[in-house]
Structure 1
Amino acid sequence: MNANSWLLWALLSAAFAALTTIFAKIGIQGIDSDLATLIRTVVIVAVLAVFVWLTGKWSNPFALSPKTWGFLVLSALATGASWVCYFRALQLGDAAKVAPIDKLSVVLVALFAFLFLAERPSLQEWIGIAMVGAGVVVIALKV
Structure 2
Amino acid sequence: MWWIYALLSALFASLTAILAKIGIKGVDTDLATAIRTLVILVLAWSMVFYKHAESGLGGLSRMNWTFLILSGIATGLSWIFYFKALQIGKVSQVAPLDKASVAITILLSVLFLGETLTIKTAIGALLIVGGTFVLIL
Are 1:53 and 2:49 matched, yes or no? yes
Residue from 129, 132, 135 that aligns with 1:136: 132
How far did 1:111 drift?
0.2
In structure 2, the residue matched to 1:99 is 95
Alignment match, 1:71: 67
Alignment partners' CA distance in 2, 1:63 and 1:54? 19
Note the alpha carbon deviations across 1:73-114, whole angstroms, 9 max, x for none.
Answer: 100000000000000000000111100000110110000000
Using the aligned pairs only, state the percent identity: 47
Contact 2:100 2:132 survives alignment (8 Å): yes
**Who is 2:119 aligned against?**
123
The correspondence for 2:38, drawn from 27, 38, 42, is: 42
- Partner Cα distance (2:53, 2:133) in 1: 42
Asked if 1:10 is matched to 2:36, the reply is: no
Letter paired with 1:49? W
Q: Please, which of 85, 88, 93 is the counterpart of residue 89 of structure 1?
A: 85
The count of residues paired between Structure 1 and Structure 2 equals 137
Bigger helix share: 2
Relative to structure 2, which stretch is displaced further, 116-125 or 56-65?
A: 56-65
Gaps of 5+ in 1: none
TM-score by length of 1: 0.91
Shift of 1:71: 0.3
- What is the RMSD computed on CA atoms of the aligned residues? 1.1
Distance 2:136 2:24 in 1: 23
Code of the aligned partner of 1:43: V
Deviations along 1:98-136, one digit per CA (max 9) or x if unpaired, are 000001101100000000111113211211111001111
Whole-angstrom CA distance in 2 between matches of 1:90 and 1:57: 35
Taking structure 2 as the reference length, what is the TM-score of the superposition?
Answer: 0.95
- Given candidates 28, 45, 59, the residue that maps to 1:32 is 28
